[in-house]
Structure 1
Amino acid sequence: MDFNISRFRHAKEKFYGSIMLVIGTLIWAVVLLIPVVYLLQGKAIPALIFALYFAAFWLFSFIARALTRAYMLGHFVMVGPAQFPQLHRMVVEGTQTVGLKEVPATFVYNSSGVMNAMALRLVGRSRYIWLTSALIDCDDEDQVRFVVGHELGHHVAGHLDEPWSYLRLPAHFIPFLAPAYSRARELTCDRVGVFVARNLQASRTALQMLACGSAKLNRQMNPDAFQAQERMVPGIAGFVLNAISGYPRLTRRVEAVTQFYAGANTRAEPAPARAQAVQPA
């Protein structure tokens, strides 16, 4: 199966993403119209104040990203051909599998026991992936490949791309809408992750690892039994908790990736050729 993000994008992401884009664009249009109205009325000072607010917002965002990048380079471990080459190959192969032109700069950092991973964009390089040390310690190679694929999913799906992320920004203040959009994006990226990993069992156990937090226990866990817990979640309480969360329940994520894998029949596809590691551009 050739990679086409439209075949992986969850239907709810398309729905909520469209709503976020329309609402955000309308809010920006109204906000930008205010200084125009002031100018038409001959009131230059209020229009100048609005312009200064926008300039300050952009400057604050730029400085925050620049400081984050500086901290990352000074405190995290950058993955490359000479530093964790096997992990580097995973990122390169995953990047080629999903058709990204730019290999994200990947960093490992000391998470003090917290298992997590993150995709982001900063100044300088466009794309980054962060992986916590605890996650790599607990997961095996195929599980890490799923996590890498999930984070690559955020990049290839355009979740961090400008100007769309900025256009949607005002809609994040709409109650329940932003969390729903975030949950749908995670489900999309889980689909990309299982496609990159080419291993459903590893993908399911990588997700349940976030629940048990133990490599020893994870090897003993039954992902079918864990998935079955989704049916035990109380209806009303589960709905409320889900509505305010930016991440789907882990039981739901295991269930969703299992259903997608069965429907997409990715098991029938040959694994991609292992590419030679190259230095990210």
Structure 2
Amino acid sequence: MNFEVSKIKHIKEKIYEPITLIVGILIWLWFLLAVLESPAHSIIFTLVFYILIFLFISFVSRVMMRAYIFGHYVLVGERQFPHIHQMVVDASRRVGLKEVPKTFIFNSNGVMNAMAVRLLGRTKYVWLTSALIDADNDEQIRFVIGHELGHHVAGHLDILVSILRFPAKMVPFLGAAYSRSRELTCDRIGIWLSGDIEASRTALQMLACGSARLNAQMNATVFQEQENMVPPITGFFLHIFSGYPRLTQRVAEITEWYAYSKSTSPVFRIPGETALS
């Protein structure tokens, strides 16, 4: 199937995406009107000044970070970890990215993580931690790469839209809900690209486990069942304040979506599947 992010995007993101954009634009318009109409111009312009200072610091930080990563991280390429580079190239082509993101591996001192980043201009980045590479097998790494590419292809890091949406992210619970929905979308893109449900489920579980020694022994179904043990009240409050769904929930989500994709329209067929079941 041809990749269409709109058909893979999680329903929660489809709900929160326009809400956060509209709320963000309305807050920006309210702020602009307050600047133009308020008699207390000195206070308003002082606030504007601090916003500009914040934007300037953010810009300088991105410039410095871009310089830092080339001197301290390891750039993946045709001559440097070519098997990982090929994973990124293949996945980028399949989701329709015109430019393959620059991929780096860095020493995370034991922290397992991966990030999709936009620093300046149009250049896209994917960062993979050394601990994740050590703990995951190649099939799991493909899922992780697919997840991070998902942030790029779904437009999560588009600078202009992010600026428009920024005030909405400050709204209690709304920003966190939108962030969680984006992660669910990217998990779907990860499984769509990997085509390996068990590797994708255990890649998420590995973020909780973190043990290369136990990797081959992981049972994602048993891990998923832990969700039933989460206390409903405290679990609810932890959930609404977090920008990430629980890992047990994420395993359950991709498991359900994978099963759905195999039993419905071919547009949801997972790569590698030759027939619907």
TM-score by length of 2: 0.91
Question: What SS does the aligned partner of 1:215 have?
Answer: coil
- Give the corresponding residue for 2:217: 220
CA deviation after TM superposition for structure 1 residue 19, in Å = 1.8
Is contact 1:76–1:109 with CA below 8 Å preserved after alignment? yes
CA deviation after TM superposition for structure 1 residue 126, in Å = 2.1
Aligned partner of 2:141: which letter?
V
Between stretches 142-151 and 165-174, larger displacement belongs to 165-174
User: Given the alignment of the two structures, is residue 136 of structure 1 paired with residue 133 of structure 2, yes or no?
Assistant: yes
- Give the corresponding residue for 1:2: 2
TM-score by length of 1: 0.89
- Give the corresponding residue for 1:276: none
Question: What SS does the aligned partner of 1:219 have?
Answer: helix
Q: Distance in 2 between matches of 1:132 and 1:151?
A: 13
- Give the corresponding residue for 2:247: 250
Corresponding residue to 2:232 among 235, 247, 252: 235
- Give the corresponding residue for 2:158: 161
Between stretches 208-217 and 143-152, larger displacement belongs to 208-217
Is contact 1:191–1:260 with CA below 8 Å preserved after alignment? yes
- Give the corresponding residue for 1:21: 21
Q: Distance in 2 between matches of 1:80 and 1:193?
A: 21
Question: What SS does the aligned partner of 1:2 have?
Answer: coil
CA deviation after TM superposition for structure 1 residue 68, in Å = 1.2
Cα RMSD for the two superposed structures: 1.9
1:28-63 deviation line (CA, Å, top 9, x unaligned): 00112233336xx7x986776565444323322211
Aligned partner of 1:270: which letter?
G
Is contact 1:198–1:267 with CA below 8 Å preserved after alignment? no
User: Given the alignment of the two structures, is residue 102 of structure 1 paired with residue 99 of structure 2, yes or no?
Assistant: yes
Give unpaired runs (5+ residues) of structure 1. Answer: 272-281
Give unpaired runs (5+ residues) of structure 2. Answer: 263-267
Q: Distance in 2 between matches of 1:72 and 1:268?
A: 35
Is contact 1:116–1:135 with CA below 8 Å preserved after alignment? yes
Is contact 2:261–2:270 with CA below 8 Å preserved after alignment? no
User: Given the alignment of the two structures, is residue 186 of structure 1 paired with residue 183 of structure 2, yes or no?
Assistant: yes
Is contact 1:36–1:47 with CA below 8 Å preserved after alignment? no
Distance 1:62 1:268, change over 3 A: closer
Instruction: Tell me which stretches of 4 or more aligned residues in structure 1 moved more than 6 Å.
Output: 43-47
Size of the aligned set, in residue pairs, is 268
- Give the corresponding residue for 2:272: 270
Is contact 1:35–1:50 with CA below 8 Å preserved after alignment? no
